Structure 1
């Protein structure tokens, strides 16, 4: 993402959408007014609700606050796998307290990331990530909440941990970026796959082959803003209002009408997160 590139222009609206994974704090939100401004921009193009996601303790505390500041915002809290080495007793206790908040709809993002160890200073090792992932799985099950997964270059290891621990009732693979074989395995296991702007990238051949294989009742959409801005704005700052670009790209790949895909993805997001309709 380059701050030198201008923000994308607002897309044409689609049927009311849910941005199933965004980071409002990383988008620049810091208080109730800035959260509302971002969500207002999204609502203007049909993105009526967002799930803001934590990757560390400060972000988890912010996410819960944001979800109380604006009824269109929900939260997901966890410690990112690359930071799993900070999961001491005090941090676990605070994440568990936050995860119990009624505005928190998922435990996440958690999982495994095999890309960064050895490349990023201070990155959690694979054993540390695995231990943290197991703890988050247990937390999601104890609280009866959806598990939101981060997976980078760890397909089979991640599936094995889920099998070993026993997956929660609902599992979401955030920013699904794997191939058709992995998509089939996840679909067969009953998991939900979330597609981001990466599906619009022309060089994402394996992902674009996987996307049509996912049933609509196991598919949701996300921005992962401020990252992964969809084509043709790749590299520009992302925000929840950009979600219709991804939905239209995904619909083209799947041979579907964008409005139909929007409706289906929203229905699935409402079900897996237990979202309430927007009052109005």
Structure 2
């Protein structure tokens, strides 16, 4: 299959299937090419990435995610207001109400996320809205028995403080885990799954590799966050679910384990984290 110029070549296929548990097939990076969803899914499947969790992060993309899950057998959906989106809503109640309706629209909507806190892009004036939105999403995940998927950027302590106050659902994921080994332990003590992305391949990500090394094998997930966070050596190109094998091989090296063994474990972990097969 011929790939567009913006995309890296297909990697060697994985020896066993895995799931990309956080992907944005609807997002097109400024000035970059895009893949059609069917093309992205076919490319991913050709290298062993057989299922995808499509994540909505505002109302339009949440609606898109639900439709993608309805359309494609190997896709489930997550719906939420991204923490950077939450302060933009003058009527947060109405926006959360629509997220709740979307969460109940189909049984393949299994995720409330990505929600959380982002102190990198949102300043002090927007943080109260972020916190309120995060609390409301936690409540949704608990009431609706959905998996909570958390975005945390430069807000480690604040995220855990809110979770300690509100409680956690039975299943919750730290999306694109970005902390060190100490923060990993604090999340794991509260029952988290830790999801590792292409950032684990970056040269300056030693702390992140330390976190991966100490994470119990039954708590590890993998994701792309595509079209962002393209793994080394393809940084600068557009990310897609078919690049999961690059990240998985790096993760196996960090763990010192057989790649097939890690694939089988991550696949089982993903089903446990997201409520079974699909």
Same fold (TM over 0.5): yes
Q: What is the rounded CA distance, in whole Å, between the counterparts of 1:160 and 1:210 in structure 2?
A: 20
Q: Match for residue 180 of structure 1?
A: 181
Question: 1:116 & 1:35 partners in 2: Cα distance?
Answer: 28
Provide the residue aligned with 1:51 in structure 2.
53
The corresponding residue for 1:18 is 19
1:1-280 equivalences in 2 (<5 Å):
6-14=6-14, 15-26=16-27, 34-85=36-87, 86=89, 88-100=92-104, 101-118=106-123, 125-276=126-277
CA displacement at 1:124 relative to structure 2: 6.7
Deviation at 1:187, TM superposition (A): 1.3
CA distance in 2, matches of 1:108, 1:11: 29
Task: Give the drift of 1:37.
Answer: 1.7
Deviation, 1:88, is: 2.2
Tell me, yes or no, if the aligned pair for 2:226 and 2:241 is still in contact at 8 Å.
yes
Q: What is the deviation of 1:27? A: 5.0
Q: Tell me the distance in 1 between the aligned counterparts of 2:152 and 2:43.
A: 29
Q: Is the 8 A contact 1:106 1:147 kept in 2?
A: yes
Q: d(CA) in 1 for partners of 2:203 and 2:18?
A: 24
1: distance between equivalents of 2:74 and 2:251? 24
SS in 1 for 2:170: coil
SS at match of 1:116: coil
| Structure 1 unpaired stretches of 5+ | none
Q: 2:32 aligns to what?
A: none
Q: How many residue pairs are counted as aligned between the two chains?
A: 266
Per the normalisation by structure 2, the TM-score is 0.92
- Residue 256 of structure 1, CA deviation: 1.1
Question: Which ranges of 4 or more aligned residues in structure 1 deviate by more than 4 Å?
Answer: none
Residues 158-201 of structure 1 deviation map (CA, whole Å, 9 limit, x = unaligned): 10100100111111000001111100111121110000000000
Instruction: Give the distance between the partners of 2:209 and 2:188, measured in 1 at CA.
Output: 16
Q: Mark the CA change 1:76 to 1:153 in structure 2 (over 3 Å): closer, same or farther.
A: same
The question of whether the paired residues in 1 share the 8 Å contact of 2:172 and 2:192 is answered with: yes
* CA distance 1:27–1:44, change in 2 (3 Å): farther
Q: Give ranges in structure 2 of 5+ residues lacking alignment.
A: 30-34
